[in-house]
């Protein structure tokens, strides 16, 4: 079973060119360009150019040619991009230059500023974005129920692509992972330290539809991502590792609607199923072994599953389906030597919402569960696993008064605030707002506007002082109490 076919999986480490020696293959690539164009350009006169070192999943160097088979082995190489006379030429090369070819050419971006800055004397790798241009705004205190009414927009992050869809804070708080909706499935690890650093890029090979981060007990950060064509990866991101585990999904797997990582980092859960249902819909949750990529269990849900979450204490798995039903599963993980087994049993089911559950979130202490639905509501349950049904508190149903779907929910780190957001891309008057709710009372504390497109993802930083929102308007906005 092959996940990505010829698209492959690309890990790109973008490092400043000043910190590297220019590869000898750069001159060979330019020689090839000169031969093609009939020019005599040099690295100093070609104009704008850049290069990056990459690790590809096969010998195609990320640019498979028609009717050609490639060895499925990890292959190190380079990308060289030369811009000349309005076109950018993308060359691929192995480190020794033995393999060198023009992958493609395309129109160069048009400079729209009135006065273009002079080109730098030292070429930099492609897609460089300085974190110095994205300083974290000052924020006086963590967002809590007591000060939520004071939250306002503090700034925007510059990201290297349009139509941002998903984001997640690093558990350390100094890096953000942002996924775009481009065809190659770019995930950018954006440092936010204020130093002259640049993003690192992982390419899934298909549009990213689900994203999650988790931290190990020794402070290593891991990422799980799922794609439109069913691909799933698990990778170490801090510090960047080269071992990317690809889950053994079928070639014709359905889109990954949601993804979660267990706190022990042993299991990745994915939710699949066509929102429209029907016989072709998978209607299941898959549990994957992060060490091998193998399938541990398939949990039949009966209906398309739009969201999945694992509680911070690792005991519970939550799933939400097309008709608004939320189920809680008791998770049991057993490790015997190299063998890993997992069992899941439904222990509770909730039916309040009436349409697809699009996001789920546990409170940091694992005592509450929030769900956002396409029916325009968010619901907070206080969990009562094992207790008498009559002792369970009534759920808090949060409605904004608009018809906008709730696509994202997030608890503040202290658990006192729930942030919700969403929108309706087909509505004429969608407000595309964030809302902050008091978790104990269910009252609305603040409505935050500014985005002009649907908001698909929300995340508090670990300190709770900043709330990030990613929107289809191509921005990531930061919110907090002004310092």
How far apart, in Å, are the Cα atoms of 340 and each of 279, 290, 297, 313, 368? 32, 10, 11, 19, 28
Decide: helix, strand or coil at residue 396.
strand
Q: What total number of domains does the chain contain?
A: 2
| β partners of residue 56 | 10, 75
- The torsion region of residue 228 among left (phi > 0), alpha (psi -120 to 50) and beta comes to alpha
pTM score, whole prediction: 0.74
According to DSSP, residue 148 is labeled G
In a domain, 117, yes or no: no
Query: Is the domain of 162 the same as that of 203?
Result: yes
Is there a single domain that holds both residue 185 and residue 256?
yes
Number of H helices, E strands in the chain: 1, 33
Closest CA to 131 of 190, 189, 177, 172: 190
DSSP element (H, E) containing 31: helix 25-37
Range name among 258-267, 382-391, 470-479 with the lowest pLDDT average: 382-391
Do residues 53 and 142 share a domain? Answer: no
Instruction: Respond yes or no on whether the N-terminal peptide bond of residue 239 is cis (omega within 30° of 0).
Output: yes
Q: Are residues 392 and 475 in the same domain?
A: yes
Q: Which tokens in the block code for residue 460?
A: 């508090």
Mean pLDDT of 350-378: 94
7 located within any domain:
no
Residue 41 lies in a domain: yes
Q: For residue 210, give every residue at least 6 positions away whose Cβ sits within 8 Å of its Cβ, in sequence order, or none.
A: 166, 224, 225, 226, 256, 257, 258, 259, 270, 271
The pair phi, psi for residue 309, each rounded to 5°, is -150, 150
Does 262 lie in the same domain as 137? yes
Residue 313 lies in a domain: yes
Confidence at residue 35, expressed as pLDDT on a 0 to 100 scale: 87
What is the C-alpha to C-alpha distance for residues 385 and 315, in angstroms, rounded to an integer? 11
User: At 1, is the pLDDT very low, low, confident or very high (cuts 50, 70, 90)?
Assistant: very low
Q: What angle do CA 204, 93, 105 make, to 5 degrees?
A: 75
pLDDT of residue 330: 94
Pick from 63-67, 197-201, 269-273, 448-452: least confident:
63-67
b/e per residue, 96-110, with b = 16+ CB within 10 A? eeeebeebebeebee
> Across the chain, what does the average pLDDT equal?
81
93 and 137 together in one domain: no
d(C-alpha 436, C-alpha 448), whole Å: 8
Q: Is residue 71 part of a domain?
A: yes
Position 127 confidence tier, pLDDT thresholds 50, 70, 90: very low
Q: Which residues contact 296 (CB under 8 A, 6 or more apart)?
A: 267, 287, 288, 289, 340, 341, 342
Same domain, 177 and 243: yes
Instruction: Name the token pair of 450.
Output: 């500014």
Contact 407, 454 (CB under 8 A): yes
438 and 383 co-located in one domain: yes
Residues spanned by the domain of 438 = 133-480
Rounded average pLDDT over 303-313: 94
If asked whether residues 89 and 217 sit together in one domain, one would say: no
Q: CA 138, CA 153: separation in Å to the nearest integer?
A: 11
Domain assignment of residue 143, yes or no: yes
pLDDT tens-digit series, residues 184-210: 788 888 877 655 556 777 878 888 999
CB-based contact 459:410 (threshold 8 Å): yes
Average pLDDT over residues 353-358: 93
Q: How far is CA 137 from CA 153, 155, 192, 338, 460, in A?
A: 10, 7, 10, 45, 14
Same domain, 67 and 201: no
């Amino acid at each position: 079973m092959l996940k990505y076919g010829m698209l492959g999986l690309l890990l790109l480490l973008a490092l400043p060119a000043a910190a590297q020696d220019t590869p000898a293959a750069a001159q060979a690539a330019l020689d090839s360009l000169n031969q093609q164009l009939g020019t005599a350009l040099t690295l100093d006169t070609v104009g704008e150019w850049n290069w990056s070192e990459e690790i590809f999943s096969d010998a195609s160097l990320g640019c498979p040619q028609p009717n050609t088979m490639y060895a499925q082995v990890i292959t190190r190489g380079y990308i060289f991009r030369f811009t000349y006379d309005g076109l950018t030429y993308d060359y691929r090369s192995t480190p020794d230059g033995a393999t060198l070819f023009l992958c493609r050419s395309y129109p160069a971006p048009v400079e729209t500023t009135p006065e273009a800055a002079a080109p730098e004397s030292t070429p930099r790798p492609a897609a460089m974005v300085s974190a110095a241009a994205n300083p974290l705004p000052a924020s006086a205190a963590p967002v809590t129920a007591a000060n939520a009414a004071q939250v306002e927009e503090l700034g925007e992050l510059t990201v290297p692509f349009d139509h941002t869809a998903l984001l997640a804070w690093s558990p350390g708080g100094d890096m953000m992972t942002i996924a775009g909706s481009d065809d190659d499935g770019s995930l950018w690890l954006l440092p936010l330290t204020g130093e002259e650093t640049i993003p690192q890029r992982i390419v899934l090979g298909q549009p990213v539809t689900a994203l999650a981060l988790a931290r190990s007990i020794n402070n290593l950060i891991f990422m799980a991502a799922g794609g439109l064509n069913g691909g799933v990866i698990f990778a170490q991101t801090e510090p960047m590792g080269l071992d990317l585990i690809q889950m053994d999904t079928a070639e014709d797997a359905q889109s990954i609607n949601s993804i979660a990582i267990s706190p022990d980092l042993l299991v990745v859960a994915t939710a699949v199923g066509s929102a429209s249902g029907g016989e072709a819909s998978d209607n299941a949750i898959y549990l994957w072994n992060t060490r091998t990529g193998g399938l541990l269990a398939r949990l039949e849900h009966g209906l398309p599953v739009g969201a999945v979450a694992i509680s911070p204490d690792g005991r519970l798995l939550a799933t939400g389906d097309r008709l608004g039903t939320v189920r809680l599963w008791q998770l049991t993980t057993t490790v015997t030597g190299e063998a890993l087994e997992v069992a899941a049993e439904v222990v509770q089911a909730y039916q309040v919402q009436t349409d697809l559950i699009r996001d789920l979130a546990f409170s940091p202490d694992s005592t509450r569960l929030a769900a956002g639905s396409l029916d325009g509501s968010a619901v907070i349950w206080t969990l009562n696993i094992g207790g008498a049904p009559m002792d369970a508190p009534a759920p808090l149903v949060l409605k904004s008064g608009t018809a906008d779907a709730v696509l994202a929910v997030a608890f503040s780190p202290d658990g006192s605030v729930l942030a919700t957001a969403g929108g309706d891309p087909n509505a004429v008057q969608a407000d595309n707002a964030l809302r902050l709710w008091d978790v104990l009372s269910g009252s609305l504390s603040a409505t935050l506007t500014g985005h002009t497109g649907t908001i698909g993802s929300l995340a508090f930083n670990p300190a709770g002082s900043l709330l990030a929102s990613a929107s289809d308007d191509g921005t990531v906005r930061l919110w907090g109490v002004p310092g």
